[in-house]
């Protein structure tokens, strides 16, 4: 993989938009970045304009120019991205006498035309007005390599070369905004970012702010507000990552090691010029009523989300002339990444659950799982919420940090099946920190990223980096003393694996850890490592992730509670030559797997079934064990009897060598009657 955006960080998570085969990245703190898919790295979006100190110094030679006063300026142009900078200051050039003059402008000297230091700039464009007019025309185009522009100032010739871009002069690189989308041939962006890394010390009457663990040397910090408590002052300049100067002396009390905030005052909605994704004019924005948390297109309109608000912006040609209307329902969006659009419907996760928007009042759709979801999202990590669309099974997953998750990373997800309008929930061993659709030659595939820097074709078991694509078992060195984070290995086991950084490892106690680095004879694990050290001589699994599936909640009507012979789970899978998987049940929406089985009743039920390949749980255990080598790939597992009103099954593959291809499942009574979900 190629690292294209080393400037991104967990404190300022980026969003992305694609425009004309270029990927644009925004995080609200650093200047927007752009990647062309070919280069080895990304670049800052936009082109910085020329200095505003051009004197217009020139020399004359024989030529043909129109007598009078012309206005002249220059700007930079990038052909590949069809991108131009703001112009220089305009200067007056007077053609006197009979107009038999040609003009040559000097390049490179003090107050002369300056070359752009941006390697992507292809040309310097000279723009000139006709005599005593205000409209500019393209007079000359020279490479950004020091070539001297030479041309005639003839009005008739100029009239043939109108500028290909808007006439406005207030062009700036993309403003700083937290997230952006492509919509109606423009880049749109909004959203504030609050910076509060580390602590600061301030002294009453002094403009100096000293930080510890701060990172002040970031784009655009000048002009933002610095705040402690309710006192705020604008930032004038930055000296280093740990030192900045305020625009006025600090009026508050002297403080040391204080928490602080740096942020922009205005919450604005920005848009670029049509067909120019990196060109913004100073008035291309409107103030929004509430703090914007996300944007989405809906037909020819723009949807603007707040925490509990949803507005719809409608316009014909100019966004600034648009009409903004509030959508009823008091719904919003947790974050920009919690919004996904499928087949003309917008699906969104907010603090009240998940809803669908189809143009009228939003429809709440997550009621079956609200007791699992609402109130259990860790509000300290809402920026890590993100939705991923899986086209093949037609499901959407929302990943989030559940309350109580010690890592503070998004391991939990809820999943909505669009075809069946059914919900399920899941949890992964490795956090999924982002996801997006990837278009290959045949289909759109979901690609997700984990917190170790690897990308995955989700649900396909294939990693785009980091270790084996097939599972492997390795043995801990006999007679050794492994620790939670260091594991000696038997010789000659890791010869084919040069680099296991970030790969998941599971021990025989089902504890999971992540490899930090390895050599041929040992593994060093990322802290905290295993919950308990593995035993000497025991086995570890590396490579393919184990998997776990929990079904929907199935409800039994009143007559089922009187059935003495209970409920059964049918599983249909593709037989394998080896391996096994486990099945456990959850009763009445409990979060704890059921353990209180009557072993005699279970043994009797299994005896009546007369089947092989299923082992019932031991005393006070929850798991049935199913052999993947069962010839017909069909098993029937007894679930329970009278006390079961709602039942869910969880199916788990616990050995990396085991491959489970599950075709389907069904809950029935002993008489064959189905449950309802």
Q: pLDDT for 642-669, tens place per residue?
A: 567 788 899 988 775 677 888 888 888 6
Q: Which of 330-339, 386-395, 500-509 has the lowest mean pLDDT?
A: 500-509
Which residues contact residue 631 at a Cβ distance below 8 angstroms, ignoring those fewer than 6 apart?
Answer: 575
pLDDT in tens, 405-444: 988 889 899 999 998 898 888 887 778 887 776 655 556 6
pLDDT in tens, 349-401: 999 999 999 999 999 999 989 988 999 999 999 989 999 998 888 899 999 99
DSSP 145-174: TTPPPEE---HHHHTT-B-SS-S---EESP
Q: In whole angstroms, what is the distance from residue 317 CA to residue 315 CA?
A: 6
pLDDT band at residue 463 under the 50/70/90 scheme: very low
Single out the residue of 391, 384, 396, 392 nearest to residue 434, CA to CA. 384
Burial of 620 (0-12, 13-18, 19+ CB in 10 A): exposed
Is the N-terminal amide bond of 588 cis, ω within 30° of 0? Answer: no
The pLDDT value recorded for residue 117 is 92
Whether the per-residue pLDDT at 18 is higher than 80: the answer is yes
- Report yes or no: 336 and 192 within 8 Å, Cβ to Cβ: no
- Report yes or no: 369 and 355 within 8 Å, Cβ to Cβ: no
- Assign 3-class secondary structure to 332-359: CCCCHHHEEEECCEEEEEECCEEEEECC
pLDDT band at residue 676 under the 50/70/90 scheme: very low
pLDDT band at residue 265 under the 50/70/90 scheme: low
Phi and psi based region of residue 613 (left: phi greater than 0; alpha: psi -120 to 50; beta: remaining) = left
The pLDDT value recorded for residue 464 is 37
The pLDDT value recorded for residue 457 is 59
Q: Which helix (H) or strand (E) holds 105?
A: strand 102-105
- Where is pLDDT greater, at 414 or 196? 414
The pLDDT value recorded for residue 608 is 67
Whether the per-residue pLDDT at 640 is higher than 80: the answer is no
Give exposure, 271-294, as e/b (b: 16+ Cβ within 10 Å).
bbbeebbbbbbeebbbebeeebbb
Q: In whole angstroms, what is the distance from residue 189 CA to residue 272 CA?
A: 9
Q: Which helix (H) or strand (E) holds 600?
A: helix 599-609
Say what percent of the chain tops pLDDT 70: 84
pTM for the predicted model, two decimal places: 0.68
Largest Cα–Cα separation, the chain: 115
Whether the per-residue pLDDT at 606 is higher than 70: the answer is yes
The pLDDT value recorded for residue 549 is 83
The pLDDT value recorded for residue 181 is 93
Whether the per-residue pLDDT at 277 is higher than 80: the answer is yes
Which residues contact residue 83 at a Cβ distance below 8 angstroms, ignoring those fewer than 6 apart?
Answer: 46, 47, 77, 276, 277, 278, 279
Whether the per-residue pLDDT at 627 is higher than 60: the answer is yes
Whether the per-residue pLDDT at 152 is higher than 60: the answer is yes
Whether the per-residue pLDDT at 311 is higher than 90: the answer is yes
pLDDT band at residue 613 under the 50/70/90 scheme: confident
Parallel, antiparallel, or unpaired: how do β-strands 268-271 and 255-258 relate? unpaired
Give exposure, 116-152, as e/b (b: 16+ Cβ within 10 Å).
bebebbebbbbbbbbeeeeebbbbbebebeeeebbbb
The pLDDT value recorded for residue 517 is 84
**CA dist 106 → 5, 35, 55, 406 (Å):** 38, 34, 10, 64
Q: Which helix (H) or strand (E) holds 370?
A: helix 370-373
Say what percent of the chain tops pLDDT 90: 34
The pLDDT value recorded for residue 469 is 44
pLDDT in tens, 28-64: 777 888 888 777 778 888 888 898 889 988 888 888 8
Query: DSSP code of 175?
Result: P
Which residues contact residue 468 at a Cβ distance below 8 angstroms, ignoring those fewer than 6 apart?
Answer: 496, 497, 503, 542, 543, 544
pLDDT band at residue 459 under the 50/70/90 scheme: low
- Report yes or no: 271 and 284 within 8 Å, Cβ to Cβ: yes
Q: In whole angstroms, what is the distance from residue 309 CA to residue 331 CA?
A: 5
Give exposure, 509-546, as e/b (b: 16+ Cβ within 10 Å).
eeebbbbbebeeebbbbeeebbeebbeeeeebbbbbbb
The pLDDT value recorded for residue 64 is 84
Q: In whole angstroms, what is the distance from residue 123 CA to residue 40 CA?
A: 23
pLDDT in tens, 464-473: 333 444 456 7
End-to-end CA distance of the chain: 43
- Where is pLDDT greater, at 188 or 169? 188
Q: How many CA atoms lie within 13 Å of 218's alpha carbon, on the beta-carbon side?
A: 25
Q: How many CA atoms lie within 13 Å of 326's alpha carbon, on the beta-carbon side?
A: 10
Which of 268-272, 288-292, 302-306 reaches the highest mean pLDDT?
302-306
Whether the per-residue pLDDT at 561 is higher than 60: the answer is no
pLDDT in tens, 62-90: 888 888 899 999 999 998 877 888 899 99
The pLDDT value recorded for residue 150 is 85
Joined together, the tokens standing for residue 367 give: 């009621």
Q: Return phi, psi of residue 434, to 5°.
A: -175, 160
Q: In whole angstroms, what is the distance from residue 573 CA to residue 633 CA?
A: 5
The pLDDT value recorded for residue 518 is 84
Whether the per-residue pLDDT at 247 is higher than 90: the answer is yes
**CA dist 377 → 137, 154, 351 (Å):** 57, 68, 8
């Amino acid at each position: 993989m190629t690292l294209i955006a080393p400037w991104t960080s967990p404190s300022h998570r980026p969003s992305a938009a694609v425009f004309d085969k270029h990927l644009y990245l925004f995080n609200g703190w650093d200047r927007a970045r752009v990647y062309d898919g070919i280069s080895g790295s990304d670049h800052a979006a936009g082109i910085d304009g020329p200095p505003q100190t051009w004197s217009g110094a020139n020399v004359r030679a024989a030529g043909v120019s129109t007598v009078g006063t012309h206005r002249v300026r220059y700007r930079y142009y990038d052909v590949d991205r069809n991108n131009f900078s703001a112009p220089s200051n305009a200067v007056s050039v007077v053609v006197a006498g009979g107009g038999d003059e040609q003009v040559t402008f000097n390049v490179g000297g003090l107050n002369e035309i300056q070359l752009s230091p941006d390697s992507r700039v292809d040309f310097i464009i000279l723009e000139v007005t006709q005599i005593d007019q205000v409209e500019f025309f393209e007079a000359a185009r020279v490479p950004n390599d020091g070539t001297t522009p030479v041309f005639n100032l003839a009005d008739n010739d100029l009239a043939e070369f109108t500028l290909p871009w808007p006439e406005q002069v207030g062009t700036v690189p993309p403003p700083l905004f937290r997230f952006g989308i492509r919509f109606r041939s423009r880049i749109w962006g909004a959203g504030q970012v609050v910076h509060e890394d580390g602590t600061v010390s301030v002294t009453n009457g002094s403009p100096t702010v000293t930080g510890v663990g701060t990172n002040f040397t970031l784009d655009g910090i000048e002009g933002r507000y610095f705040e402690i408590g309710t006192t705020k002052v604008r930032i004038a300049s930055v000296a280093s990552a740990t030192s900045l100067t305020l625009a006025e002396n600090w009026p508050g009390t002297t403080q040391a090691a204080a928490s602080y905030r740096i942020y922009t005052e205005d919450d604005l909605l920005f848009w670029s010029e049509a067909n120019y994704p990196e060109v913004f004019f100073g008035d291309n924005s409107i103030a929004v009523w509430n703090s914007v948390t996300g944007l989405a297109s809906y037909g020819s309109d723009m949807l603007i989300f707040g925490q509990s608000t949803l507005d719809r912006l409608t316009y014909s040609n100019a966004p600034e002339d648009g009409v903004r209307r509030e959508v009823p329902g008091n719904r919003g969006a947790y974050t920009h990444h919690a919004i996904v659009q499928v087949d003309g419907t917008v699906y969104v996760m907010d603090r009240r659950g998940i809803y669908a928007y189809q143009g009228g009042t939003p429809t709440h759709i997550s009621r079956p799982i609200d007791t699992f979801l609402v109130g259990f999202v860790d509000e300290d990590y809402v920026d890590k919420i993100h939705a991923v669309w899986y086209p093949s099974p037609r499901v959407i997953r929302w990943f989030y940090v559940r309350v109580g998750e010690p890592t503070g990373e998004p391991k939990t997800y809820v999943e909505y099946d669009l075809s069946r309008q059914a919900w399920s929930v899941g949890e992964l061993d490795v956090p999924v920190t982002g996801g997006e659709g990837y278009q290959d030659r045949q289909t759109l595939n979901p690609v997700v990223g984990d917190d170790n820097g690897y990308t995955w074709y989700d649900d396909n078991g294939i990693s785009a980096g980091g270790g084996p694509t097939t599972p492997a078992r390795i043995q801990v060195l006999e007679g050794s003393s492994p620790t939670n984070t260091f594991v000696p290995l038997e010789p000659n086991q890791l010869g084919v694996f040069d680099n296991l950084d970030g790969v998941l490892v599971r021990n025989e106690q089902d504890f999971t850890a992540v490899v930090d680095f390895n050599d041929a004879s040992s593994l060093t694990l990322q802290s905290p490592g295993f919950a308990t050290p593995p035993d000497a001589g025991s086995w570890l699994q590396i490579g393919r992730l184990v998997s776990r599936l929990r079904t929907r909640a199935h409800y039994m009507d009143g007559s089922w509670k009187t059935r003495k012979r209970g409920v059964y789970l049918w599983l249909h899978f593709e037989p394998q030559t080896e391996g096994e998987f486990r099945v456990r049940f959850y009763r009445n929406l409990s979060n704890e797997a059921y353990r209180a089985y009557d072993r005699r009743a279970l043994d009797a039920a299994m005896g009546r079934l007369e089947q092989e390949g299923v082992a019932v749980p031991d005393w006070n255990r929850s798991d049935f064990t199913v052999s993947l080598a069962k010839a017909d790939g069909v098993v029937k597992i007894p679930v329970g009897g009278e006390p079961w009103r709602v039942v869910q099954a969880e199916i788990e593959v616990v050995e990396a060598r085991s491959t489970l291809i599950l075709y389907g499942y069904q809950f029935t009574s002993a008489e064959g009657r189905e449950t309802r979900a």
